[in-house]
Structure 1
């Protein structure tokens, strides 16, 4: 399995654990933040790319006016299946789609939104260009990306712990993909290359990530993300053994019982 394919593979049990553990731990806060920003624009037609299991989709369906139509897309059908099974109001349409080649007409949407998906796009400028194409003139692209891994303590602790478990070939998914697209000058340049003439507005949003236990954090990262694919491809420790090592590292740093840690992301807003 290539690195690119592994990093975007959310199949099997990953989607369920992602929704059960990672959404409340990491994504719900930022979904509400992004949805409030979108609601302030009062759009009639919204496209969401890389919707995952629907954290932002559900937040938008709560905050946007009932007449607003939301089309939520993702490359991974398994994630969309889990999102649809969770349930959202009737104003949401789920559709499998590649953000770099969207199956929609030009100038169809008032807003294109993406929660923590841009980091996974192989060609980010191409995805942004597609977002621009389907936006009406004056429409808005809003998305967020994780800041560097050192600003996101759970992810940093997990990655360091796995480096000790697999010293010869450490699993670096978290650093390589989710926390790799944090440089705001690079993001601005990619947007300009995609055809956005106006400079983006970029805000850094800091929050606390909460989990009921160190075990929940370890399972969420090691088994509910594509990090699982990297762990299972390596020799020297099983998935369960690696998860236990990460649980111990979280306990050592954050204590037993309910745990919390700092997290940080950038919100990017740019008009067509």
Structure 2
């Protein structure tokens, strides 16, 4: 396990992750607040009530709980994470009537094809050992007509970007180029692909055809 993943599995980090660590790093990386990210997530996933939502690498569950607050009737949100300390914090801090948590590996999700109406992964693909396999799994469990949204790292195609990519890799972090995820989404048959770049982060969303 590399340094980045060891850090994310530390109980001490789970206690402060959503209150200090994530907001600070995301502001530096993107110039955006956590609240803006959450509102954009609801918009990108087109949540309107009666949907089944899967949040990959949910950490302590703040995004998962927020998404669940925009659901009703039979709608629910499931957060999946590999870190036991993060999930323990999620259960304590972010339980709710329409939210649940499960320990699992994003590369081999324990769900049938087309289970979820919306699937997301915010700020974690750069930590997952095989992010392409994890992304394909997200697409596999996405129902026809469903929405997929991710936020992940970004590097420019110049000397600065390639240097940043090399430095980040020393700790186990991956920086992705502009084409990786839009191209993958298109190859997997997704449509309505939209990409936005904010500093060192990229946001990509798409639809699985009905």
TM-score past 0.5 threshold:
yes
- 1:191 maps to 185
Q: How does 1:176-215 map to 2 (within 5 A)?
A: 177=173, 180-181=175-176, 183-192=177-186, 195-198=188-191, 200-204=193-197, 206=198
Work out whether 1:8 is the aligned partner of 2:1.
no
Q: Are residues 140 and 128 of structure 1, via their aligned partners in 2, closer, same or farther at CA, if it must alter by over 3 Å? A: same
Q: Which has the larger displacement, 20-29 or 47-56?
A: 20-29
Q: How does 1:136-151 map to 2 (within 5 A)?
A: 136-148=143-155
- 1:163 maps to none
In 2: Cα distance, 1:109 partner to 1:97 partner: 16
Aligned partner of residue 8 in structure 1, secondary structure: helix
Aligned partner of residue 80 in structure 2, secondary structure: strand
Work out whether 1:49 is the aligned partner of 2:56.
yes
Structure 2: gaps of 5 or more residues: 27-33, 157-163
Larger radius of gyration: 1
Q: Are residues 47 and 174 of structure 1, via their aligned partners in 2, closer, same or farther at CA, if it must alter by over 3 Å? A: farther
Cα pair 1:200 1:270 within 8 Å, conserved: yes
In 1: Cα distance, 2:47 partner to 2:171 partner: 33
Q: How does 1:96-111 map to 2 (within 5 A)?
A: 96-111=103-118
- 1:19 deviates by 2.7
- 1:67 deviates by 3.6
What TM-score do the two structures reach when normalised by structure 2? 0.77
Structure 1: gaps of 5 or more residues: 150-159, 161-170, 207-262
- 1:144 deviates by 1.0
- 1:257 maps to none
- 1:168 maps to none
In 2: Cα distance, 1:41 partner to 1:202 partner: 22
Aligned partner of residue 65 in structure 1, secondary structure: coil
**1:33-73 alpha-carbon deviations (Å, 9 max, x no partner):** 21233244655111111101122112212233354111111
- 1:129 maps to 136
Specify which structure has the higher proportion of helix.
1
In 2: Cα distance, 1:127 partner to 1:196 partner: 16
Aligned partner of residue 142 in structure 1, secondary structure: strand
- 1:134 deviates by 1.0
Q: How many residues align?
A: 189
What TM-score do the two structures reach when normalised by structure 1? 0.61
In 2: Cα distance, 1:177 partner to 1:266 partner: 15
Question: Pairwise CA RMSD of aligned residues?
Answer: 2.7
- 1:269 maps to 205
Cα pair 1:111 1:141 within 8 Å, conserved: yes
Q: Which has the larger displacement, 94-103 or 82-91?
A: 82-91
In 1: Cα distance, 2:126 partner to 2:189 partner: 19
Cα pair 2:53 2:119 within 8 Å, conserved: yes
Q: Are residues 113 and 133 of structure 1, via their aligned partners in 2, closer, same or farther at CA, if it must alter by over 3 Å? A: same
Cα pair 2:50 2:73 within 8 Å, conserved: no
Cα pair 1:196 1:270 within 8 Å, conserved: no
